[in-house]
Chain A
Amino acid sequence: MGKGIFVVTVPDQGTIRKVAFEILSEARKIATAKSEPLCAVIIGKGVAALAGKFAPYGADKVYVVENDLLENYTADGYAKALADLITREQPSIVLAGATVVGKDLMPKVAARINAGMAADCTAIGLDGDAFTVKRYMYSGKMIADVKFQADKVAIATIRPNVLIAAAPDASKSAEVVNVAAEVSAADIRVKVLEVVKGDAGKVDLTEAEVIVSGGRGMKDASGYGILEDLAKVLGATVGASRAAVDAGWRPVSDQVGQTGKVVSANLYIACGISGAIQHYAGMGTSKVIVAINKDGEAPILSKCDYAVIDDLFKVVPPLTEEIRKLKAD
């Protein structure tokens, strides 16, 4: 029997990303089915204060892996700290969010310990004793059921916003194990010279629950003003099609699609976006998709849940007002 189900979190400036709780809630079921402990692993500098956050979501044990050299995320430092812990504790599976950090860190750890790995998974389960995951391939055009082979540690990163976080139970507690990571300055070869944070309050597209996206139909960069207003009342993040990014109206980091970000929102509102296969590949797993498009023949109309066929510049401002009213009720 394996020695646990690990759920790894790298806090971002003192906060834990929601995906960690989503994964823990789902992994709780697997840990129970396999009679293995569910262990949260938190890595960084000065992160011990966050150790209490995991028990309410079902963690039996919390490993707090610390070292002063882990103040900034570096693949070198974090991979060593995590790989050492995995080698020592021999968990049967290691899960982490498919975030920018998770996608950078986990494949390196997998290579270091010769694990099997699947990235950006949308479900985890068991087939007998073996771990299984579901993940999209061909940019959303196929779902693959993946089975882990028994002879290796399994590693999976999980797409944010797909699994459902359970209601936290504050009465639960977990054993806390402090681990002093053995990382030396020489291990960390990559030097962080500067961190340029954009809009600090902005939720990244990949984790946004609501997204308001604009395409070529926005006409120019200033057209996005009405989307920003709508986003504000919805607590949404603004995204864009490639056409809008290529036109220079929005930064590359806003692009949704096969060669942009893959998002999975509860609500995705596509304004002036035709719905090309490459765009849909990046947002098709969103729960509710709304299209606002003046062309009744636009491909997006066969891929969405609700459609308004009209001029977006006439629809979006009153929509913002209506939602503002509904939210005020």
Chain B
Amino acid sequence: MNSIVCLKQVPDTEAQILATPDGSDVKLDGVKFIISPYDEYGIEEALLQKEKAGGGEVTLVSMGPARAVEAIRTGLAMGADKAVHLDDEAFNGSDAQAAAKALAAQIKGMQYDIIYCGRQAIDDDQSQVGPALAELLGLPHTSLVTKVEVAADKKSVKVNRQIVGGEEILEIPLPCVLTCQKGLNEPRYASLPGIMKAKKKPLQPVKAAEIGIDAGTVGAAGSGTRVVKFTAPPTRTSAKIISGESPEEKAANLAKALREEAKAI
């Protein structure tokens, strides 16, 4: 079982994100970075499937600035075998579709059965790259996967996926792209020996030109969308505390406020 996991480094879920004074960008200096949580499910699943199959390789592919190496090393410490880091100025400013193009150009020449992506990267929250990547590679995909079962002949995979108000069970021929949803598995932590071993695992930096990418098709130049301004969302002015002598009275006052003031019920 050979798998590829697309991994993105993103700000920690706890991080406060602020805009620069002119609103043209966000301030990320001093922010702690992590592997996007949904990508961790991808790494875990790739490792589990490799263990089940009794062999194969798990390769991480990540596009990002120099600091992304940290997240890649963490993924290697979890147990992935090797990694490719798309690190080139040409990729700066890529929107989700452009990112999918860059990843597709890299993955095209690789050998794999399943490509795992996260449901969404928790910085841009696009949920685009998985389905777009599949399309660009000419592969079938399924999103929001919560269970993966590889067929005995290793030619297809049976997956459960979340749909509105329920679940769908699908069969997809391999190779394919799956996007991972919470519930798929419990990602392991990197162990100390894992961290030591990760330092020696192959981590290959790749430039756009090496994978035949024309600079105009990725990065800001190749993106069909551009963020022109970042603003902080409006904050709520402090809450109205509902008064009352007893819980019952508070409940009655709340119901009244929601009815008459907020007009919410």
Contacts and interface: CB of A to CB of B under 8 A. Distances in A.
A114 B97 CA distance: 8
Interface residues of A, number: 98
A148 B231 CA distance: 18
A147 B230 CA distance: 12
B229 A145 contact: yes
Contacts of B152: none
Contact of B166 (A137, A195, A259, A308): A195
Interface residues of B, number: 83
Given A115-B224, A193-B170, A141 B233 contact: yes
Contacts of A190: 140-142, 170-172
Nearest to A234: B265
B250 A322 contact: no
Interface string B165-206: 111111111000000011100000000000000000000000
Name A's interface SS. Answer: mixed
A278 B173 CA distance: 36
Interface string B223-252: 111111111110110111110000110111
Contact of A259 (B122, B232, B257, B262): B122
B169 A194 contact: yes
Contacts of A308: 241-242, 250-251, 254
Interface of B: 11, 13-17, 19, 26, 37-38, 95-97, 100, 122-136, 140-144, 146, 158, 162-173, 181-183, 223-233, 235-236, 238-242, 247-248, 250-252, 254-259, 262, 264-265
Interface of A: 12, 75-76, 79, 99-100, 103-105, 107-108, 110-112, 114-120, 132, 135-149, 151-152, 154, 189-200, 202, 204, 206-207, 210, 234, 252-253, 255, 258-260, 262, 266-267, 277-278, 281, 284-285, 287-291, 301-311, 314-316, 318-319, 321-323, 326-327
